[in-house]
Amino acid sequence: MKKIALIGSTGSIGTQTLEIVRNHPEEYKVVALACGRNLELLEAEMREFHPSFVSVGDEEGAASLRASTRDLGIPVGFGMSGLCEAAAYPDADVTVTAIVGMVGIQPTLAAIEAGKTIALANKETLVTAGHLVTKAAKERGVKILPVDSEHSAIFQSLQGNTGNRIARILLTASGGPFRGRTREELKQVKLADALKHPNWSMGQKITIDSATMVNKGLEVIEATWLFDVEPERIEVLVQPQSIIHSAVEYEDGAVIAQLGTPDMKLPIQYALTWPARVYLPGDRLDFTKLSAIELAQPDRKTFLGLDFAYRAAKEGGILPTAMNAANEYAVAHFLREEISFLDIYDWIEYAMDTASGSKEPSLEEILAEEKAVEERLKARFR
Ligand code: NAD
Ligand code: MG
């Protein structure tokens, strides 16, 4: 039986992870759960899965959850220390990082320190602290298994090819809800339009990131760390039907890809069952009914998220943190309808242009830059 700690249990990835656990009660046991503010759902999860420990965003939430779940007798933590305790819960074999944002850095590092296998959905952690996370995982002999669908596809395409050099990674993108629009047209788009992703139902932050293509940019950086490949060898291709989930090109020109219907449960489950594959209910690809699998170059002049990320990946140091922190801050404002869609790009660019720091920033420097970015953006734009 595999014991699971799940941080971000009430979100899109979190609830789909629990669906997999629900389908395989003999294989998996949830030992720790953590979320931010959705106490009602967390309580339902506690009643269904009986974890040994849970944690929530703040002290007030913890007090209220303790009161409503007194009959269960499950200890409730809160804040960063509770989150790290859940992520590194002694009983857990694997920690699923389904939390959103760079708030995931410290719990991920805590889980690695404690020797847990990491099933990583939380890309912002690798983007900002990839050098710290991969180093810690190597030192501790811990595996990081990708949950992000493209990275899972790349990982699947690498199976059986140990020792073979990756010539190129083909990272596919749906293009998001605004594919084909001009910059002029993007001036007027509303929050509700940006939240309508054509193929995937996901949390709000990543849905906006998909519309700006910042998500694909973050995924380029994520891939450099997961697969030890320079950004120049990662090519982004728009594949609007989201059927080719990504591919690896080898030295002999062979391209190996993973295809399937868009369903996050497959990459989540594969990160839990790897190297085995087990039955997963759901739609299957019917090639006879596919009208087309289109492929196109991304429009990098309109959707600036990719160029920001290539610049950040090449330069390294604190720049990926500046990019990511500015994006998190800007997207939070966009979700409250306080800024326009294109403002997100201006905020990120400004934060990157004004960033400075060491080549290999420490955890403290990364967290300090996150704060500093907010201060710089406040001073410049608010
Ligand atoms: P979401 O917004 O649906 O869920 C986020 C979860 O994190 C929630 O449970 C929330 O309560 C928790 N959380 C947020 N702030 C917290 C805090 N300070 N302390 C404790 N918990 C906190 O997000 P999501 O769409 O599930 O995405 C999660 C991560 O997975 C992101 O990094 C995203 O980029 C990545 N990802 C998601 C998908 C997807 O299909 N949703 C696909 C690929 C990658
Ligand atoms: Mg993805």
DSSP string, 344-367: HHHHHHHHHHT----SS--HHHHH
pLDDT level of residue 319 (50, 70, 90 thresholds):
very high
Amino acid residing at 382: R
Distance from C-alpha of 225 to C-alpha of 82, rounded to nearest angstrom: 27
Distance 150 CA to ligand 2 centre (A): 5
| Contact by Cβ (8 Å): 327, 356 | no
- Give the per-residue pLDDT at 198: 86
Share of residues in the chain with pLDDT > 90 (%): 97
Q: Which two tokens stand for residue 361?
A: 């920033």
- Give the per-residue pLDDT at 61: 98
Using alpha carbons only, give the angle 370, 141, 158 rounded to the nearest 5 degrees: 85
CA nearest to 134, candidates 5, 4, 227, 7: 227
Distance 372 CA to ligand 2 centre (A): 28
Give 57-100 pLDDT, tens digit per residue. 999 999 999 999 999 999 999 999 999 999 999 999 999 999 99
Give 251-276 pLDDT, tens digit per residue. 999 999 999 999 999 999 999 999 99
CA nearest to 353, candidates 303, 319, 309: 319
Amino acid residing at 122: N
pTM, to two decimals: 0.98
- Give the per-residue pLDDT at 23: 96
Strands 255-259, 244-250: pairing kind: antiparallel
Tell me the average pLDDT across 354-360: 95
Q: What single string gives the DSSP state of each residue in 87-149?
A: HT-TT-SEEEE---SGGGHHHHHHHHHTT-EEEE--HHHHHHHHHHHHHHHHHHT--EEE-SH
Give 114-126 pLDDT, tens digit per residue. 999 999 999 999 9
Q: Which two tokens stand for residue 358?
A: 């060491």
Distance from C-alpha of 137 to C-alpha of 131, rounded to nearest angstrom: 10
pLDDT level of residue 46 (50, 70, 90 thresholds):
very high
Distance 11 CA to ligand 1 centre (A): 5
- Measured from the Cα of 149, ligand 1's closest atom is 43
Tell me the average pLDDT across 210-215: 98
- Give the per-residue pLDDT at 65: 98
Distance 175 CA to ligand 1 centre (A): 21
Substitution site in 12, 18, 122 for ligand 1 pocket (most atoms within 8 Å of beta carbon): 12
Distance from C-alpha of 76 to C-alpha of 54, rounded to nearest angstrom: 5
- Give the per-residue pLDDT at 219: 98
Backbone angles phi, psi at 375, to 5 degrees: -65, -45
- Give the per-residue pLDDT at 131: 98
CA nearest to 103, candidates 313, 373, 324: 324
231: left (phi > 0), else alpha (psi -120 to 50), else beta? Answer: alpha
Query: Average pLDDT of the chain?
Result: 97
Residue 284 C-beta-side C-alpha neighbours within 13 Å: 6
Distance from C-alpha of 101 to C-alpha of 328, rounded to nearest angstrom: 7
The bound ligand whose nearest atom lies closest to the alpha carbon of 245 is 2
Q: Which two tokens stand for residue 177?
A: 């809800």
Q: Which two tokens stand for residue 75?
A: 């200890």
Q: Check pLDDT > 90 for residue 291.
A: no
| Ligand 1 pocket by Cβ (under 6 Å) | 8-14, 34-36, 38, 57, 83, 98-100, 103, 121-124, 148, 200, 202-203, 205-206, 264
Distance from C-alpha of 7 to C-alpha of 167, rounded to nearest angstrom: 35
Q: Which two tokens stand for residue 242?
A: 């989201």
Alpha helices in the chain (DSSP H): 12-23, 39-49, 59-68, 79-87, 105-113, 123-140, 149-158, 183-186, 191-194, 204-212, 214-227, 265-273, 305-315, 319-335, 341-353, 363-381
Distance from C-alpha of 30 to C-alpha of 52, rounded to nearest angstrom: 8
Tell me the average pLDDT across 225-237: 98
- Give the per-residue pLDDT at 382: 81
CA nearest to 361, candidates 22, 130, 35: 130
Distance 204 CA to ligand 1 centre (A): 9
Report which DSSP code applies to 296.
B
- Give the per-residue pLDDT at 290: 86
- Give the per-residue pLDDT at 289: 86
Tell me the average pLDDT across 160-187: 97
CA nearest to 211, candidates 244, 175, 167, 182: 175
- Measured from the Cα of 207, ligand 1's closest atom is 25
Backbone angles phi, psi at 302, to 5 degrees: -90, -45
pLDDT level of residue 197 (50, 70, 90 thresholds):
confident
